[in-house]
Amino acid sequence: MALTRKQWIVIGCIATFVVVGVIVGVTVGVVVGRRKSDSVTVEQRVNDILAQNPLIDGHNDWAWVIRKYFRNNITGLDLNEMTKYRNITTIHTDITRLRKGQVGGQFWSIYTPCEHQGKDATVSFMEQIDLMNRIIAKEPEAFQLARTAAEVREAFQAKRVASLLGVESGQAIESTFSILRLFYQLGVRYMTLTHNCNTPWADQNRVDRPGSTLPKNDGLTEFGKKIIAEMNRLGMLVDLAHVSKKTMLDVLNVTRSPIIFSHSSAWALCNHSRNVQDDVLRLIKKNRGIVMVAFTPGFITCDSKNLGNISNVAEHINYIRNLAGVDGIGLGGDFDGIDQTPYDLVDVSGYPKLIEYLISQGNWTDEDIIKLAGGNILRVMEENEQIARDLQKTMQPMEDMIPIADLIKNNITSCRYLDMYPNATVA
């Protein structure tokens, strides 16, 4: 039956009301949703991000502080509230502040000074690994040992700080592949090639300082290149913090795996020899490596009278991001390895404030923050793990000995029994 003109008018009116209602409903929903989003503070946004994604710092010297001031005795030590020991020294780390800082993973520095090289370096580094094992065992609800990216995620899901071990200085292995492999078996997942002293196979950063008369290896020696190859085969991250620029370039030329700088900043903003120059930053982007920005005032401001603040640290983060890419940046606070801190980054509780500042700048998405906080270092670990699996299919463990001439040159034969060099003659 054909509709009358009046009926068509009625239908048209009803349709109009329906359409208008839908439009109004959608508009209201969008506005309400937008207001809800706007009502989420930056602090809440950061809290949500870090509750779901681990913040992983590249370098913390808590173990060194415990060795230096407490002789590695932790039985009666309150690891939850170490501010109570401020009459002894300022300590940047404890469980309470790690929780406040929403730290989801930490590379704990396994470190003793250069003076141990050629004497008891391996012994002293083993003592520090034992210390971290005892800390983890003492506080199992707070810490969980992690050796892979997957284990980091497991610890984070269990609401424990994923505890990774990083040997700070190649002196620890006393120039032998055997000790390098044993450290890997003990859970060490990165090795800084030098500290502020050369190893017999790699140069440290201070050789680059103006007027330096320190002896040089001219970067990475041939034996040093074999060390890198073995680290790649094992899946141990190569850490270039502390090394000379020539060593950086040599490593980037031979490594098959992404490298890290566990605690360094941008040389263009502070021309300290511990920082990373622009051409190296561009190479890191090609290598798919990562620079974990240090909070060390001397690396941030280059001004002994200005300790710097969050904005100065953020400037280094943004600068490195612009050259190495958002996939090439991370955080490496160096807490408890530094005597002074930026004014508003005084301990491990301060990470959320730094991230809040970055977000407030308007050019960091949630995805970017996730990468900075821990996503990038997890990706670097996973790539090293996969490359190691591939290399182990065709590559045998290294068995070479470092040339004795390299040991003699560096004057570290006096405390070493040279039975592996049967024809050696040492004056």
Position 169, amino acid: S
Instruction: Kindly tell me the burial class for residue 422, based on how many C-beta atoms sit within 10 Å of its own C-beta (0-12, 13-18, 19 or more).
Output: exposed
Name which of 232, 234, 144, 129 is nearest 184 in CA terms: 234
Q: What does the alpha-carbon distance between residue 343 and residue 100 come to, in Å, rounded to a whole number?
A: 18
Query: In this structure, what is the dihedral angle of CA atoms 139, 152, 106, 58, given to the nearest 10 degrees?
Result: 170
Cross-strand bridge partners of residue 162? 105, 144
User: What is the predicted pLDDT for the residue at 27?
Assistant: 44
User: What is the predicted pLDDT for the residue at 415?
Assistant: 86
User: What is the predicted pLDDT for the residue at 38?
Assistant: 53
How much of the chain is helix, strand and coil, in % rounded to 5? Answer: 50, 15, 35
Query: In this structure, what is the dihedral angle of CA atoms 237, 297, 304, 70, given to the nearest 10 degrees?
Result: -80
Across the range 360-372, mean pLDDT stands at 97
Indicate the helix (H) or strand (E) that contains 384. helix 376-391
User: What is the predicted pLDDT for the residue at 22?
Assistant: 41
Spatial contact of 402 and 200, defined as CB atoms under 8 Å apart? yes
Strands in 252-347 per DSSP E: 260-264, 290-293, 329-331
User: What is the predicted pLDDT for the residue at 40?
Assistant: 86
Angle, helix 278-287 to helix 245-254, in steps of 10 degrees: 20
Spatial contact of 201 and 171, defined as CB atoms under 8 Å apart? no
User: What is the predicted pLDDT for the residue at 422?
Assistant: 84
User: What is the predicted pLDDT for the residue at 261?
Assistant: 98
User: What is the predicted pLDDT for the residue at 424?
Assistant: 73
Domain ranges across the chain = 52-407
Across the range 194-212, mean pLDDT stands at 97
Q: Domain 52-407 is in which class?
A: alpha beta
Q: What does the alpha-carbon distance between residue 404 and residue 336 come to, in Å, rounded to a whole number?
A: 37
User: What is the predicted pLDDT for the residue at 12?
Assistant: 55
Choice among 113-117, 290-294, 400-404, 417-421 with the minimum mean pLDDT: 417-421
Name the residues annotated as catalytic.
59, 61, 168, 195, 242, 263, 334
User: What is the predicted pLDDT for the residue at 81?
Assistant: 98
Q: Which residue has the higher pLDDT, 174 or 412?
A: 174
User: What is the predicted pLDDT for the residue at 283?
Assistant: 98
Q: How many CB atoms lie within 10 A of CB 384?
A: 27
Position 34 pLDDT exceeds 90 = no
pLDDT digits (tens, 9 = 90+) for 218-247: 999 999 999 999 999 999 999 999 999 999
User: What is the predicted pLDDT for the residue at 186?
Assistant: 98
pLDDT digits (tens, 9 = 90+) for 142-165: 999 999 999 999 999 999 999 999
Across the range 20-40, mean pLDDT stands at 45
pLDDT digits (tens, 9 = 90+) for 64-102: 999 999 999 999 999 999 999 999 999 999 999 999 999
Q: How many CB atoms lie within 10 A of CB 282?
A: 14
